[in-house]
Amino acid sequence: RGLLRPGGLWTSVDVVAATGSTNSDLVASGAGEGAVLVAEEQSAGRGRLDRTWSAPPRSGLFFSVRLTPGAGVPAERWGWLPLLAGVATASALSRAAGVDTALKWPNDLLVTVDGAERKAGGILAERSGDDVVLGIGLNVSLRADELPVPTAGSLALAGAAVTDRDPLLRAVLRSLEEWYTEWRNAGGDPGRCRLQEAYAAGCATLGRTVRAELPGDRALVGEAVAVDGDGRLVLATAEGVQQPVGAGDIVHLRP
């Protein structure tokens, strides 16, 4: 792990053998912008929508970063950060691991295993005062019998050329720094830094018929036609209504 040196945006890179959740640790810590916390093992990994994130020790990358978009980026645009992290991670994995990943809105990382879409990674963004803590979990070397749920996959099962975690982590951090810097320099405008375009190009949800499971046990079925300027998924329903969805779980129904 000696090659994981701080530099550029990343002011500190701490690697711990085990912890509950790197997101919880970084949210609670007084670390400044650019702090990176990596765990070899997480005993209480957390996911979006109050879910858990579990993976065998050393089978993947479990890490969090702290970012401070600051006054230059209006708070209503901070919602793009987890989508930005998805774009950055997907492009890093295609370059560094030779694996194609697609994004399921908002930011599940999908790989193809035996012709089927499987989730190999996820991103959790949490506010911590004026900062955002972004947590990224990636299934790297998991074998089929180690998958936590049947819908999961891993980079190895998707035929990755590289499954060493250090080079993959370096590639993701580099890509994240590049995208974040451009986005912040563009005042968080996803159109100006081409984030909206890159997101749409990498999003497997667009063009599909999906079911959005919304808060309060409601559901909405429609074709995913766009991701709007606020990062919401726009569904065209059978009634001809265009409905933006800002939170909730998406199920891909048909191609």
Q: Which residues bind ligand BTN (CB under 6 A)?
A: 21-23, 42, 45-48, 51, 53, 62-64, 108, 122-124, 135-137
Closer of 122 and 193 to ligand BTN (Cβ): 122
3-state secondary structure of 1: coil
User: What is the nearest approach in angstroms of ligand BTN to the Cβ of residue 134?
Assistant: 8
CA dihedral sign of residues 31, 36, 39, 45: positive
User: What is the nearest approach in angstroms of ligand BTN to the Cβ of residue 104?
Assistant: 10
* Long-range contacts, stretch 217-222, CB < 8 angstroms, 24+ apart: 220/245, 221/253
Please compute, for residue 169, the number of CA atoms within 13 A of its CA located in the half-sphere on the CB side.
28
User: What is the nearest approach in angstroms of ligand BTN to the Cβ of residue 119?
Assistant: 7
Closer of 23 and 112 to ligand BTN (Cβ): 23
- 154: exposed, middle or buried (C-beta count within 10 Å: 0-12, 13-18, 19+)? buried
User: What is the nearest approach in angstroms of ligand BTN to the Cβ of residue 61?
Assistant: 8
User: What is the nearest approach in angstroms of ligand BTN to the Cβ of residue 186?
Assistant: 26
Give the CB-nearest residue to ligand BTN. 122
Place of tokens 């509950």: 20
Closer of 61 and 193 to ligand BTN (Cβ): 61
User: What is the nearest approach in angstroms of ligand BTN to the Cβ of residue 212?
Assistant: 16
Place of tokens 């209504």: 241
Closer of 193 and 203 to ligand BTN (Cβ): 203
3-state secondary structure of 121: strand
Closer of 90 and 124 to ligand BTN (Cβ): 124
Closer of 25 and 183 to ligand BTN (Cβ): 25
Closer of 53 and 180 to ligand BTN (Cβ): 53
User: What is the nearest approach in angstroms of ligand BTN to the Cβ of residue 100?
Assistant: 19
DSSP E strands, the chain: 12-16, 35-39, 60-67, 102-104, 108-113, 116-128, 131-139, 209-214, 218-227, 233-236, 242-245, 249-254
Q: How far apart are CA 130 and CA 69, in angstroms?
A: 8
* Long-range contacts, stretch 228-236, CB < 8 angstroms, 24+ apart: 229/190, 229/191, 229/196, 230/76, 230/77, 230/79, 231/79, 231/80, 231/83, 231/106, 231/190, 233/105, 233/106, 233/205, 235/210
